[in-house]
Amino acid sequence: MRIRTTVAAVSGGLVLSALAVPVAQADGGGVHKPTAAERFGVSRAATSAAADDELPVVSKVTVNGGKSIVAGLTGVQTFTVSLTASHSAGIEDAYIDLWHGRDRTHVDGVFPPNEQNATCTQVDATTSTCKLTVTIDARRELFMNSLAGTWHVTAAAIAADETGSEYWNDFYGTHRLQRASKLTADAAPEPVKKGKTITVTGKLTRANWETRKYTGYSTQPVKLQFRKKDSNTYTTVKTVKTNSKGDLKTTVKATVDGFYRWSFAGTSTTPAVNAAGDFIDVK
């Protein structure tokens, strides 16, 4: 797990509290998701709840440059999250996290930001763009395949006014976390006489965060594609579904020299991937 230290205002004093944030809870015990009070301070969160407060307006949130987050079995990746917010008094700070679960009280994964405070750059007197970073350690923090797919994005901003008016939305948007995929292709025999049968095989696998291995992705449609030796463009020959182990196999007639590959379009939990082309020399 990762430890986050937050400052909370209690009875007029500041209390430092270490928040243990396990990203994935394998035993189903639940994960603690930071609250507005923990991030911005109890007194501020309560004050900003006044009905007549002017709240910050968040107009844009970006996670990882808009690209899905793809994680394998190992490796640590850090990406940027940012939001743009406005308030008549300007923006003092912002917060973004990614979390997974049915609702706010049933959370099984949280990726909080690395920084205690966002780096905010003024666009003008009322608007700022604020940036943070988030780190994912696949080996230590991803233990359940069910974590792949759609994650909620929390967006929050606090104004630079006297009361610290605050906007906080645990359901501002969504973002995808996907299991890394691999795809192979092999065409045989080679060389081959023109008009003879070529057998093209392959295998589609993806990271299994529970077994810590790459395992076959079954019953998925995968395109067999071909490009001539002097061309840069692949065209689709046919579509074949993977078997229960992720294996692919089909036959075609040899016509001209070129490359065969498999192409997978991806799903919500698994990214698109193309196999490296395998060259066939037609005699």
The pLDDT tens digits of the residues spanning 90-144 come to 999 999 999 999 998 899 999 999 999 999 999 999 999 999 999 999 999 999 9
What is the model's pLDDT at position 8? 31
Query: Domains in the chain, ordered, with CATH?
Result: 2-179 (2.60.40.10), 181-280 (2.60.40.730)
Query: What integer is the mean pLDDT of 144-171?
Result: 96
- Token representation of residue 74: 């190992």
What is the model's pLDDT at position 31? 86
Number of Cβ atoms within 10 Å of the Cβ of 65:
9
What is the model's pLDDT at position 50? 53
Confidence class for position 163, pLDDT limits 50, 70, 90: confident
Rounded Cα distance between 192 and 56, Å, is: 68
Number of Cβ atoms within 10 Å of the Cβ of 175:
19
Number of Cβ atoms within 10 Å of the Cβ of 78:
11
Rounded Cα distance between 121 and 57, Å, is: 16
- Token representation of residue 96: 């973004």
The pLDDT tens digits of the residues spanning 190-235 come to 999 999 999 999 999 999 999 999 999 999 999 999 999 999 999 9
Least confident of 37-41, 183-187, 253-257: 37-41
Query: What integer is the mean pLDDT of 251-271?
Result: 98
Burial call 105-143: b when 16+ CB within 10 Å, e when fewer = eebbbbbbbeeeebebeeeeebbbbbbbebebebeebbb
- Token representation of residue 268: 């919500």
What is the model's pLDDT at position 240? 99
Angle at 101 between CA 133 and CA 270, to 5 degrees: 70
Rounded Cα distance between 13 and 8, Å, is: 8
What is the model's pLDDT at position 221? 99
What is the model's pLDDT at position 24? 52
Task: Identify the CA nearest to 88 among candidates 64, 114, 136, 54.
Answer: 54
The pLDDT tens digits of the residues spanning 42-93 come to 545 444 455 557 999 999 999 999 999 999 999 999 999 999 999 999 999 9
Contact residues for 85 (Cβ-Cβ < 8 A; gap 6+) = 56, 57, 58, 59, 91, 94, 127, 128, 130, 157, 167
What is the model's pLDDT at position 16? 27
The answer to whether the predicted template modeling score (pTM) of the entire model surpasses 0.75 is yes
Distances, alpha carbon 70 to alpha carbons 5, 6, 10, 85, 231, in Å? 27, 29, 40, 28, 31
- Token representation of residue 264: 């997978």
Contact residues for 224 (Cβ-Cβ < 8 A; gap 6+) = 200, 236, 237, 238, 239, 240, 248, 250, 252, 260, 261, 262, 263
- Token representation of residue 3: 């430890």
Rounded Cα distance between 227 and 137, Å, is: 38
Confidence class for position 30, pLDDT limits 50, 70, 90: low
Distances, alpha carbon 272 to alpha carbons 47, 205, 244, 267, in Å? 47, 12, 19, 7
